[in-house]
Copies of this chain bind each other. A is one copy, B any other.
């Protein structure tokens, strides 16, 4: 079980070590082989490249990636002068990570952190599956079609093949089958031909899953329904662009971005596992970041990357336990709870495992 550990920038450097602790605690009996690599600004500083060859080689030799975050003011400056695309987008494409799984779960202890009224959000447990290899992110042609001053014009192409849609649709139906058997496909078939193909193909694939209830929503209606009655959803499957927007909207419903993990899965078993939050340069280096999203990402790695459901649940159970005991990092702090730092939280979880 070779795992590439890429903490990246900012708080990535603090939270990923806590996720590693949890992995080791839950997987002490497993042949874990963890190897650290550099990515992002940390890597630019070390080698001049955001995604150096040494990291690509490490990934090639690994079965899974545990990823922290990249970004920060210096990195953004550098990127403007070196616009060769985001390392994350490159990894998604090169590793053929076609589906991003984002479970949006409300921890009952943290219900007060939500901007949404408690009665609407209670029991929230939805899974957003976002297509990750197609759409307007990678579609060609793209770029400036005219740079004549006063007449500049630029394009991007939303593009989907039947095979791309089929692949992520299967992922959606399979996930729904393991849950409450409801799949909602989100598109914009009333305006975009690409999304009409999306709807047709998802509907066709659905015939192979008669036990799963399939519904369709336009993306604007979905953006509303996520706020109006989030608990009515089970699994949502959608394209790369709409998924980027809706999964962040859905995450914010919980009010606890520091708690949410994600998994990006490819055709092979090799996946990339990362917290949904960013590098948070403003709080980096202060031992105050919440490591739980990273720790829960390690749990997703065990579940989706290695099919070790029991070990995954051991981590998740430990997280629930420390929350029930009242331990909180600053971002989820509330009256009566015990405030702890990044390391203390990580150690508490490891011990609970």
Interface, chain A (partner B; CB < 8 A): 86, 89, 115-117, 120, 136-137, 139, 142-144, 150-163, 188, 190-197, 201, 219-221, 223-224, 226-228, 241-242, 244-249, 251-253, 255, 257
B residues in contact with A228, CB < 8 Å: 115, 252, 255
CB atoms of B220 and A245 under 8 A apart: yes
Assembly of this chain: how many copies? 2
Q: Which residues of the partner chain B approach A162 to less than 8 Å between Cβ atoms?
A: 150-153
Interface centre among A150, A152, A219 (most CB of B within 10 A): A152
Nearest chain B CB to A6 CB, angstrom units: 20
A-B CB contact pairs (8 Å), 27 listed: A86-B190, A86-B191, A115-B227, A116-B117, A136-B158, A137-B191, A139-B155, A144-B197, A150-B163, A151-B163, A153-B161, A153-B162, A154-B159, A154-B193, A155-B159, A156-B157, A156-B158, A156-B193, A157-B157, A157-B158, A220-B244, A220-B248, A223-B223, A224-B248, A224-B252, A227-B252, A228-B252
Query: What is the bound-complex CA distance between A156 and B89, given in angstroms?
Result: 21
The smallest beta-carbon distance between A263 and chain B, in angstroms, is 18
A202 to B: closest C-beta gap in Å? 13
If A120-B115, A143-B193, A224-B252 touch, whether A152 touches B201 (CB-CB below 8 Å) is yes
Neighbouring B residues of A221 by C-beta, 8 Å: 248
* Bound complex: CA A157 to CA B191 (Å): 12
Contact B245 A194 (CB under 8 A): no
